[in-house]
Amino acid sequence: MRIYILLFCIFLIVIFSCNEKKENLNRNTIMSTSLNKFFEINDSLILEYPIDSSPSFIRDICFTGENYYVLGSNRKYPLVKFDKKGNFIKNIGKIGNGPGEFIFFIHKIAINKNKEIVAKTLSFNQLYLIKNDSIVLRKTLGEAAAISDIGWLSNDKILCTGYGRGKWHYLIFNKKLELTDTLVELKHNILPEGFIENFSLNIKENEIISHHLYPAKIYFYNFKNNHLIKKREIYFQNYLTDFKKVDLNKILENYHNGKISLIQMLYSFPKIMWLTRYNKLITGIYYAARTSRKISKRKEKKFYLFILNLENNKVKDFELEPGATKDLYCWENGFFISKSQKINEKIFYKLYFLNLRDNIDI
């Protein structure tokens, strides 16, 4: 009898300890940074990871209304399904060479109204279609040498930005991952004008907002009947701090004359990391151009938050403190910050979903 009482007491102690630690995790807040001037926490969620699925950081999130699909940096199980309370449900596929597996690391995911997920790899130029939590299609693309971003259009087709046949394109695939159309907006005889790195989709309005690395512009399109209709464009170099410091034409001239390689040229441009829309505002994060061939550490880069007001066409950027963007990522509903904590051989990730503050004057 004493043994049972002792075991029961130990059980209560363990449960109390776990609850206390989980409550402590709930009370954790993000570090005070310059981001606090612009963002406020709209909601938060604790994800409970099994030890073999835990990532070192979270890349992307999709939400169906019932479940979260979370893309992390785990080398075996990159995509994990949780319920809306953050409880682990299952791993979706794994890294491997067999059927129903990801051959390489997944870099981006997007989900449609039918809860079908399209995923793209960081390398090897592959797309995956996931239905009912299983990988049903995998395709290595021959028409594009690289895919930079993906998303679902309102007609259940997949929009990608990628490089193929010497130009950057908007590529459209059906749900069989067959290339059905290639959309080209701008051309250049050597380097394609319209070097598309990422975009934001407003499905309700059939709107595409894309960032072009060269020239440094944001383009606004309407998508209708497989055609892009350009509504407007905004030239970055006239507004943003680090873009003003860089002579884009000189960099391009050095590339054309063989003084720098394609990779060196791309690293010489300021780079936009994320782009998203908040009603009448476009916001994103970019970091400064590299000043040398040496790959700089992330903490040494200068990061900026930029905000564009669509009502008055004004654009401002704000330099962020070092490390402010370490755990900051963009998803379909804005931005989130993730913080991790290990408790009793389990990894808990606290996600903070962010909104722009109402008092920002642009």
Q: Tell me the per-residue pLDDT of 267-317, one tens digit each, with 9 for 90 and over.
A: 788 888 888 888 788 888 888 877 555 544 444 678 888 998 888 888 888
| Any domain includes 11 | no
Residue 8 domain-assigned? Answer: no
Going by pLDDT thresholds of 50, 70 and 90, the confidence category of residue 214 is low
Tell me the CA distances in angstroms from 2 to 5, 7, 337, one per residue in order.
Answer: 5, 9, 48
Virtual CA dihedral for 35, 205, 196, 239, nearest 10 degrees?
Answer: -50
Above 70 in pLDDT, residue 84?
Answer: yes
Does pTM top 0.85 for this prediction? Answer: no
Question: Which of the listed ranges 109-118, 121-130, 330-339 does the model predict with the highest average pLDDT?
Answer: 109-118
Confirm whether 9 is domain-assigned. Answer: no
- Of 65-74, 116-125, 160-169, the one with minimum mean pLDDT is 160-169
The mean pLDDT value for 95-115 works out to 89
Confidence of residue 23 (pLDDT cuts 50, 70, 90): very low
pLDDT band at 20 (very low <50, low <70, confident <90, very high): very low
6 within a domain of the structure (yes/no): no
What amino acid is encoded at 55 in this protein?
P
User: Which residue type is seen at 128?
Assistant: Y
The C-alpha torsion from 103 through 107 and 113 to 114, rounded to 10°, is 10
pLDDT, the chain, mean = 78
Name the band, by pLDDT with cuts 50, 70 and 90, for residue 185.
low
Q: Write down the pLDDT at residue 176.
A: 92
Q: Is the pLDDT score of 76 beyond 80? A: yes
Q: Is residue 3 part of a domain?
A: no
**How confident is the model at residue 85, as a pLDDT?**
93
Specify the DSSP element, H or E, that contains 255. helix 248-256
Distance CA(267)–CA(262), nearest Å, equals 9
3-state DSSP call for residue 352? Answer: strand
Cα–Cα distance, 134 to 100 (Å, whole number): 7
Burial of 165: CB neighbours in 10 Å, binned 0-12, 13-18, 19+: exposed
On whether residue 16 sits in a domain, the answer given is no
- Give the lowest-confidence range in 5-14, 75-84, 269-278: 5-14
Q: Look up the CATH number of the domain holding residue 64.
A: 2.120.10.30
Distance CA 21, CA 16 (A): 9
Domain count, the chain: 1
pLDDT of res. 78: 94
**Residue 198 burial by Cβ neighbours in a 10 Å radius (0-12, 13-18, 19+):** buried
Residue 239 confidence (pLDDT): 84
pLDDT tens digits for 132-175?
999 999 988 765 556 778 899 877 889 888 766 556 677 888 99
Q: What is the mean pLDDT of residues 87-92?
A: 95
**What's residue 332's pLDDT?**
76
Residue 118 or 288, more confident = 118
- Residue 361 domain flag: no
- C-alpha torsion sign, points 222, 228, 231, 236: positive
Segments forming the whole domain that contains residue 345: 31-356
Instruction: Locate 171 and state its tokens.
Output: 């590529």
| 3-class secondary-structure state, position 280 | coil
Question: Is residue 15 included in any domain, yes or no?
Answer: no
